[in-house]
């Protein structure tokens, strides 16, 4: 449920057209990517190592120059209007590169100043409290645990009140508590209208918090889709029927359901598409299957269904392109 619904009638907050990146060694990391990011959405970019996710984020943030194509943020070109676009963006990189001898509060406050924003002690206090860093505000960065350093990275990115927040692999290698905390922070931010783009290898992360999912592989955007639509469109369902006693073969009269007999005749499997829901016929097909099973005197003891996860879909997609 969205507190601030992505408004598709408004122009996209980030617009990417024909984005191509060829690195100095001739490697083509992005191949003419088109993508619109809507204001207020949470977009998860999934892709294996080396897919081009960081390259794309770095170009949007103005840290890497595109070879071809155009990117606008809030209507401004990221190359020509670098200062304007950069001030709208908060970037949480994979690693902390700031001075390890600086204190938490100074690092975060300094970050606000870097973007030309005036001092706001109340805001910095709120950010540090939200990220459970307030007690550590006077500690030097080198004294913090890896998880705490991650929190500092987020605090730094939020210090200048960005409209768009990029999180590059935010939960790689963090523990469960920190991951939960981060998701909470992300959800809270979304409620204030901030657009959030995260790259991740963790598909369950995308499944849990994203509104839309983009899949990048070998420099190409393979798809971009509303998460639920994606799971309906590409997902599959399986109905498993446990039997009270084994049967030797699928009984006659059930051929049209393409049942598979498994577990030495102890169970039957029926595969169907996840988008065959109420209204387009599938319910009646399941009902027909139940009737046919009863008519054929199939000894049922239990029924269960399994829906493919985003992970199954992702592995299938990447596998098809490999
Ligand atoms: P990961 O999930 O591992 O972070 P990624 O999807 O973010 O991967 P990128 O970091 O964008 O991928 O890298 C895309 C490809 O471009 C990789 O093959 C990488 O080796 C290559 N690459 C990145 N930076 C450079 C560079 N400066 N020079 C040459 N090749 C580069």
Name the residue of 52, 67, 169 whose CB sits within 8 Å of the most ligand 1 atoms, as the mutation to test its pocket: 52
* Tokens coding 306: 């399994």
The predicted pLDDT at position 279 comes to 47
The predicted pLDDT at position 8 comes to 55
Instruction: Identify the DSSP state of 140.
Output: B
Query: Does the C-beta of 26 come closer than 6 Å to ligand 1?
Result: no
Ligand 1 atom with the shortest distance to the CA of 94: 4
The predicted pLDDT at position 59 comes to 96
Instruction: Identify the DSSP state of 247.
Output: -
Q: Which residue pairs, CB below 8 angstroms and at least 24 apart, start in 92-95?
A: 92/153, 92/154, 92/156, 92/157, 92/165, 92/166, 92/167, 92/168, 92/170, 93/153, 93/168, 94/54, 94/168, 94/169, 94/172
Encode pLDDT of 302-321 as tens digits: 999 887 667 777 777 777 65
Ligand 1 atom with the shortest distance to the CA of 30: 14
DSSP string, 2-50: -SS---TTSPPSEEEEEEEEE-TTS-EEEEEEEEEE-TT-EEEEE--TT
CB 210 within 8 A of CB 38: no
The Å distance, Cα 172 to ligand 1 centre, comes to: 17
Query: Does the C-beta of 95 come closer than 6 Å to ligand 1?
Result: no
Q: What is the mean pLDDT of residues 181-196?
A: 86
Question: Which residue's CA is the closest to the ligand 1 atom numbered 18?
Answer: 50
Task: Indicate whether 19 pLDDT > 90.
Answer: yes
Greater confidence (5 vs 86) lies with: 86
Question: Which residue's CA is the closest to the ligand 1 atom numbered 19?
Answer: 50
Ligand 1 atom with the shortest distance to the CA of 54: 7
Least confident of 80-94, 107-121, 199-213: 199-213
Encode pLDDT of 234-259 as tens digits: 667 789 999 999 999 998 888 888 89
The Å distance, Cα 29 to ligand 1 centre, comes to: 7
The predicted pLDDT at position 186 comes to 85
The predicted pLDDT at position 72 comes to 97
DSSP bridge pairs for 45: 199, 214
Query: Does the C-beta of 93 come closer than 6 Å to ligand 1?
Result: no
The predicted pLDDT at position 3 comes to 38
The Å distance, Cα 27 to ligand 1 centre, comes to: 9
Q: Are strands 68-73 and 212-217 parallel, antiparallel or unpaired?
A: unpaired
Question: What's the CA gap between 202 and 171, in Å, rounded?
Answer: 8
Cβ count near 38 (within 10 Å) = 19
Question: What's the CA gap between 274 and 267, in Å, rounded?
Answer: 21
- Residue 286: closest CA among 240, 223, 222, 219: 240
Question: What's the CA gap between 204 and 216, in Å, rounded?
Answer: 17
Q: How confident is the model at residue 161 (pLDDT cuts 50, 70, 90)?
A: very high
The Å distance, Cα 212 to ligand 1 centre, comes to: 23
Question: Model-level pTM?
Answer: 0.77
The predicted pLDDT at position 274 comes to 61
Name the residue of 53, 57, 206, 221 whose CB sits within 8 Å of the most ligand 1 atoms, as the mutation to test its pocket: 53
Question: What's the CA gap between 132 and 168, in Å, rounded?
Answer: 21
The Å distance, Cα 198 to ligand 1 centre, comes to: 16
Q: Which residue in the block uniquely carries the two structure tokens 């369902």?
A: 237
Q: What is the mean pLDDT of residues 22-42?
A: 95
Q: How confident is the model at residue 9 (pLDDT cuts 50, 70, 90)?
A: low
What is the chain's mean pLDDT, rounded?
A: 86
Which residues have CB under 8 Å from 275's CB, separation 6+?
232, 233, 235
DSSP string, 99-123: -TTSBHHHHHHHHHHHTTPPP-HHH
The predicted pLDDT at position 141 comes to 92
Question: What's the CA gap between 196 and 163, in Å, rounded?
Answer: 9
Question: What's the CA gap between 261 and 205, in Å, rounded?
Answer: 35
Question: What's the CA gap between 74 and 59, in Å, rounded?
Answer: 15
Q: Which residue in the block uniquely carries the two structure tokens 């006659």?
A: 252
Encode pLDDT of 243-301 as tens digits: 999 999 998 888 888 899 999 999 999 987 765 544 455 556 778 888 899 999 998 99
* Tokens coding 151: 């929190």
Question: What's the CA gap between 182 and 202, in Å, rounded?
Answer: 14
Q: Which range scores top for mean pLDDT: 18-22, 82-86, 232-236? A: 18-22
Encode pLDDT of 101-146 as tens digits: 899 999 999 989 888 888 999 999 999 998 889 999 999 999 998 8
The predicted pLDDT at position 5 comes to 43
Greater confidence (173 vs 214) lies with: 214
The predicted pLDDT at position 230 comes to 76
Question: Which residue's CA is the closest to the ligand 1 atom numbered 25?
Answer: 23
């Amino acid at each position: 449920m969205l507190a601030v619904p992505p408004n598709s009638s408004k122009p996209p907050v980030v617009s990417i057209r024909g984005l191509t990146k060829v690195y100095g060694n001739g490697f083509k990391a992005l191949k003419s990517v088109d993508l619109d990011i809507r204001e207020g959405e949470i977009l998860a970019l999934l892709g294996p190592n080396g897919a081009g996710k960081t390259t794309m984020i770095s170009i949007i943030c103005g840290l890497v120059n595109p070879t071809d194509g155009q990117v606008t943020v809030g209507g401004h070109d990221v190359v020509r209007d670098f200062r304007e676009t950069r001030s709208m963006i908060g970037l949480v990189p994979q690693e902390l590169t700031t001075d390890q001898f600086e204190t938490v509060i100074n690092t975060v406050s300094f970050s606000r100043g870097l973007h030309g924003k005036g001092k706001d002690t109340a805001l910095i206090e709120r950010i540090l409290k939200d990220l459970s860093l307030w007690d550590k505000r006077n500690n030097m960065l080198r004294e913090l645990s890896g998880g705490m350093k991650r929190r500092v990275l987020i605090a730094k990115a939020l210090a200048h009140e960005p409209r768009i927040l990029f999180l590059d692999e935010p939960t790689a290698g963090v523990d469960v508590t920190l991951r939960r905390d981060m998701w909470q922070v992300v959800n809270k931010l979304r409620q204030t209208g901030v657009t959030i783009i995260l790259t991740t290898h963790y598909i369950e992360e995308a499944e849990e918090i994203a509104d839309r999912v983009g899949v990048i592989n070998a420099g190409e955007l393979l798809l971009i889709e509303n998460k639920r639509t994606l799971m309906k469109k590409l997902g599959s369902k399986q109905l498993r029927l446990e039997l009270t006693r084994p049967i030797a073969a699928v009984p006659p009269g059930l051929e049209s359901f393409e049942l598979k007999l498994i577990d030495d005749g102890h169970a039957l499997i029926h595969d169907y598409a996840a988008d065959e829901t109420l209204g387009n016929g599938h319910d009646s097909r399941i009902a027909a299957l139940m009737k046919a099973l009863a008519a054929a005197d199939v000894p049922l003891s239990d029924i269960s269904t399994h829906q493919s996860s985003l992970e199954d879909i992702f592995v299938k997609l990447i596998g098809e392109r490999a």
